Structure 1
Amino acid sequence: MPKAMTLNVRVSGALGEFVASNIGDDGAYENVSEYVRDLIRRDKERVEAEGFERLKAELTAAFAAPESAYEALDAEKVIARNARG
């Protein structure tokens, strides 16, 4: 399990005001740490979703290819191809 990380971030001006508006009684978060953790989780989800969409697009293209575009490969050919790449 990764070690807990402590971050120190200085936010001022309009960004600081925006963060402050999301914290406390009027905001969606109790404290800045909770807000930052949620932002990180959302960014992680976004990155994972983008990766999934790329994979889905590649699979869609592969399954749309005509049968003649496929080549039969045995294990040796696959290993040799992967060793080159």
Structure 2
Amino acid sequence: MSRSMTLNVRVSGALGEFVARNVGNDGAYENVSEYVRDLIRRDRERAEAEGFERLKAELTAAFAAPESAYQPLDAETIIARNARN
């Protein structure tokens, strides 16, 4: 589902000057909206990358465990365990 949202943000002082340098003819962005959308996309990518890194670390630790640590489980046991969580 795509959802549109309007944001009003007041930025002043050093932050406002920084934004102004990055927008317009001399900046990397045509307008402030484009700049903010890019910042949000980058933050979303960062959050997704952090989640992937956490998952990768958990899988690495799980696969590093000795085979004797593994135990056979049937589907009913897994479903019951997941229902408790």
TM-score class, shorter-chain normalisation, is over 0.9
1:51 aligns to 2:57 (yes or no): no
In structure 2, the residue matched to 1:22 is: 22
In structure 2, the residue matched to 1:6 is: 6
Matching residue's letter, 1:53: E
* Root mean square deviation, CA, Å: 0.7
Alignment of 1:69-80 (within 5 A): 69-80=69-80
Unaligned runs of 5+ in 1: none
User: Shift in Å at residue 3 of structure 1?
Assistant: 2.4
In structure 2, the residue matched to 1:60 is: 60
TM-score (norm 1): 0.96
Unaligned runs of 5+ in 2: none
User: Shift in Å at residue 26 of structure 1?
Assistant: 1.2
User: Shift in Å at residue 82 of structure 1?
Assistant: 1.0
Partners of 1:32 and 1:84 in 2: CA distance: 47
Matching residue's letter, 2:5: M
Q: Is the partner of 2:30 in helix, strand or coil?
A: coil
Matching residue's letter, 2:39: L
In structure 2, the residue matched to 1:84 is: 84
